[in-house]
Structure 1
Amino acid sequence: MDVTVVLADGVVTGVRVDPAATNATSLRFQERFASAVVDSVVGRTLDEVAVDRLAGSSSTGAGFMAALERAVRDARA
């Protein structure tokens, strides 16, 4: 999945998750996650963002957190 995060002064002001799974079951979980994650992270500081199991998807949260950490690291470089 592709993750786009918009930050302002360390606060998440926007997020977009584009599911990319090819397996129908995985795609359903990613789509549900993408719908739910916005309310879980927008308005929070980077230190407050902690996505684990969300919308019935257990592994998608880990992938989101890894993508977020990578994006922040790249932005600071």
Structure 2
Amino acid sequence: MGKYSEETKLAVVKDYCSGTAGLKVVARRHDVDVTSLRKWVAGYRSHGAAGVREKARATYRSRPDSDRHVGLLYQRWDG
């Protein structure tokens, strides 16, 4: 989970989109990073509420699979 809940992100974005204050003022008002708010607003404008949801992160393979790849590289190198 990220630092901010989806509800918080959406509330901050809606506050900014209401047009009553600029990006920096809204970010300060809600104690969020300006860069984060800018990304949330862009996501909201492109995809609506879904644009501020937590993104799924890539999963990484376990170590044994990596060892298999190293073994294959050595096989190719040895000829």
Pairwise same-fold verdict (TM > 0.5): no
Query: Which structure has more strand as a fraction of its residues?
Result: 1
Per the normalisation by structure 2, the TM-score is: 0.31
Larger Rg: 2
Higher-helix-fraction structure: 2
